[in-house]
Chains A and B, each alone.
Chain A
Amino acid sequence: MEVDLTLLLFIFALASFIGFELISKVPPTLHTPLMSGANAISGITIVGALIVAGSLGNPLGKWIGFAAIILATINVVGGFMVTDRMLEMFKKKEDEK
């Protein structure tokens, strides 16, 4: 699929604006979980790693992709789980009330 660079830059800029707007009013309590959750989302690079490791091509490139999958998966799985662990405590509070 041929994609126009202008369009990709457009998407990039729009997504950045959404990111700015999304977290402008977070209470300090949630800063650490938010940082951790956002960090897990940045593990989205796993999608790129899958493409590099699974496509045909020079074996060296595929093995580099394999290493990328491992690191990105650690980031994704660990990131979401540890964020959940932090937020679980707030959930408990809400239920008690």
Chain B
Amino acid sequence: MSAFLPETILNWLPDAIQLFYLVATGFFIRGVKLINSPGTARKGNQFAAIGMLIGVLVTLFDQDIVEFELIVGGIVIGGLIGLLLAKKVQMTAMPELVAVFNGFGGAASALVAWGELARNPDILSFDTTGLVSIGLSVFIGALTFTGSFIAFGKLSGFISGNAITFPGLNVINIGAMIATLGLIGYFAYDPTNPTLFWVILGISLLIGVTSVIPIGGADMPVVISLLNSYSGIAAAMAGFVLQNNLLIVSGALVGAAGLILTNIMCKAMNRSLVNVIFGSFGAAAGGPGASGDGDKTVRETSAEDLAIQVAYASKVVIVPGYGLAVAQAQHIVKEVATKLESRGVQVKYGIHPVAGRMPGHMNVLLAEADVPYDLLKDMDEINPEFATTDVVLIIGANDVVNPLAKTDPTGPIYGMPILNVEEAKRTIVFKRSLSVGYAGIDNPLFYAEKNQMFFGDAKKSLQALNEALNEV
């Protein structure tokens, strides 16, 4: 595009591009800052998008860019696919979609490094920095790509959510990572052997698979968040390859942000990142509870019976989980809550930090159903309130209300902070069956004296409750 400009402008063009990159960076930083608060979050996302637009437009004036056919074609194809995915996907499938987008981002960074390598006819024109950056960008980008797609597979059920592992896999993974770094070093020392590049690419793709596959489905949010951080670092590495400030700064921003978020999510589960990655959570407890013990009894309730209980309660707390999302029951929950409120019942929502498949997943769903923001209480706010609560409706949640987290030191979820629903006068569990949750362990809450089970699809059960409330 620079070909259309007069020569006087061309002289200061490189500097102008750098200045506009600085402006774009400003938009990114301001944007992320604004996403910190619910009132300004949407504006923040738009700020970041504007920053991206500036970055892309300004780059088109780069004097190295002389051909536009592939650029226009690529943007049109990619834009249409992105648009379609973003419009069509269900709110419940959001975590999967983020995993897919993230995988594409990682792959793109690896391709940028590879493309830059392939584009230059003389491989010896790269200096050591360039070659190391290419190696790292391919390594991190490729493992982000395969890792994200394994995470996507686990979340959407294509791949078993159980931890798939064998003794020594962690050692092999760590060994492979160190070996790859060694190979990248050798590649920088002697780049003339093309096989070496393929070996680096191949091992990196494999590491993505073998390091995510041993992690249980319940930990996928943490994995996606970590991979999100990786894709930022991969972009920054591609920035080192091209010596592009905008790539380095934005990539580093995302890398750091993803790491912080990952840390917050681990804290919510009372586990360390190392434990999530190498702990093979859920592998040992792959289903002893699923068979169920015959000597335990559960109490069942019906829609009519439940309607009476909640209609004459003074305080009801709703605890949503992934089952609510799967059943698309957020709107009917809101309807039931509205009915109860009109009868003078106080209704609140208790949201566990890892309820659903991502932090904030439940909040997004309930917000979609127009549940007022200030009724959504997080764990620390709601826990002291259970003692004064008459009925807790646990809808499609399991592990986050499992008392074993407090009582069984040998259990896989021991130490995870949970919602203390058992302190309430009555708990009602909406669930399809007595099957185990994502952590793969039985839940003694189901058999507690104060608990009643309302079996069935969450949406249908709530609809039945909603109708029964008209009769009360």
User: B444: CB under 8 A from chain A?
Assistant: no
Residue of B nearest to A24 (CB): B260
Number of interface residues of B (CB under 8 A): 119
Task: Give CA–CA (A65, B59) in the complex, Å.
Answer: 14
Given contact pairs A64-B111, A68-B112, A51 touches B78 in the complex (Cβ within 8 A)? no
Task: Give CA–CA (A85, B88) in the complex, Å.
Answer: 11
Given contact pairs A39-B101, A45-B109, A90-B367, A84 touches B261 in the complex (Cβ within 8 A)? no
Task: Give CA–CA (A51, B70) in the complex, Å.
Answer: 11
User: B170: CB under 8 A from chain A?
Assistant: no
Residues of chain A with a CB closer than 8 A to B116's CB: 48, 52, 61
Q: Which of B45, B64, B261 has the most CB of A within 10 A?
A: B45
Tell me which residues from 48 to 62 in chain A have a Cβ below 8 Å from any Cβ of chain B.
48-58, 60-62
- Secondary structure dominating the interface of A: helix
Residue of B nearest to A27 (CB): B38
Number of interface residues of A (CB under 8 A): 85
Interface pair A41/B32, CB less than 8 Å apart: yes
Tell me which residues from 47 to 95 in chain B have a Cβ below 8 Å from any Cβ of chain A.
48-49, 51-52, 55-56, 59-60, 62, 64-68, 70-71, 73-75, 77-79, 81-83, 85-87, 89, 91, 94-95
Residues of chain A with a CB closer than 8 A to B59's CB: 47, 50-51
Task: Give CA–CA (A73, B115) in the complex, Å.
Answer: 16
Given contact pairs A45-B238, A84-B45, A23 touches B71 in the complex (Cβ within 8 A)? no
Residue of A nearest to B246 (CB): A47
Given contact pairs A41-B32, A48-B241, A75-B102, A93 touches B372 in the complex (Cβ within 8 A)? yes
Interface pair A48/B228, CB less than 8 Å apart: no
Q: Which of B304-312, B351-359, B422-430, B457-465 forms contacts with chain A?
A: B351-359
Task: Give CA–CA (A24, B231) in the complex, Å.
Answer: 20
Interface pair A32/B86, CB less than 8 Å apart: no
Residues of chain A with a CB closer than 8 A to B38's CB: 27, 29-30, 90, 93-94
Interface pair B74/A53, CB less than 8 Å apart: yes
Task: Give CA–CA (A30, B300) in the complex, Å.
Answer: 36
B425 to chain A, nearest CB (A): 27
Residues of chain A with a CB closer than 8 A to B240's CB: 8, 12
Residue of A nearest to B76 (CB): A73
Given contact pairs A39-B102, A81-B82, A89-B368, A68 touches B111 in the complex (Cβ within 8 A)? yes
A68 to chain B, nearest CB (A): 4
Interface string of A2-44 (1 = CB under 8 A from B): 0101001001110111111011111111111111111111111
Interface pair A19/B260, CB less than 8 Å apart: yes
Interface pair B359/A28, CB less than 8 Å apart: yes
Residues of chain B with a CB closer than 8 A to A77's CB: 78-79, 82-83, 86
Interface pair A57/B112, CB less than 8 Å apart: no
Task: Give CA–CA (A94, B373) in the complex, Å.
Answer: 9
Given contact pairs A22-B253, A74-B82, A42 touches B235 in the complex (Cβ within 8 A)? yes
Task: Give CA–CA (A45, B74) in the complex, Å.
Answer: 14
**Neighbour of A16 across the interface among B65, B86, B119, B256, CB < 8 A:** B256
Interface pair B119/A26, CB less than 8 Å apart: no
A-B contact pairs, 9 of them (CB 8 A): A5-B129, A8-B245, A18-B29, A30-B37, A52-B119, A53-B115, A67-B111, A84-B42, A86-B91
By Cβ-Cβ distance, the 10 closest A-B pairs, closest first, are A61-B119, A73-B78, A19-B256, A69-B74, A77-B82, A78-B82, A54-B65, A57-B119, A64-B115, A31-B359
Q: Beyond the given A41-B52, A55-B67, could you list 18 further A-B residue pairs with CB under 8 A, ordered by the A residue number?
A: A11-B252, A12-B248, A19-B253, A23-B36, A29-B373, A30-B36, A37-B31, A42-B234, A45-B109, A48-B242, A52-B119, A56-B66, A67-B111, A72-B104, A72-B105, A73-B79, A79-B98, A84-B45
Show the binding face of B for A, using Cβ within 8 Å.
14, 25, 28-29, 31-33, 35-39, 41-42, 44-46, 48-49, 51-52, 55-56, 59-60, 62, 64-68, 70-71, 73-75, 77-79, 81-83, 85-87, 89, 91, 94-95, 97-98, 101-102, 104-105, 107-109, 111-112, 114-121, 129, 224-225, 228, 231-232, 234-236, 238-261, 264-265, 268, 351, 353, 358-361, 363-364, 367-368, 370, 372-373, 376, 378
Show the binding face of A for B, using Cβ within 8 Å.
1, 3, 5, 8, 11-13, 15-20, 22-58, 60-94
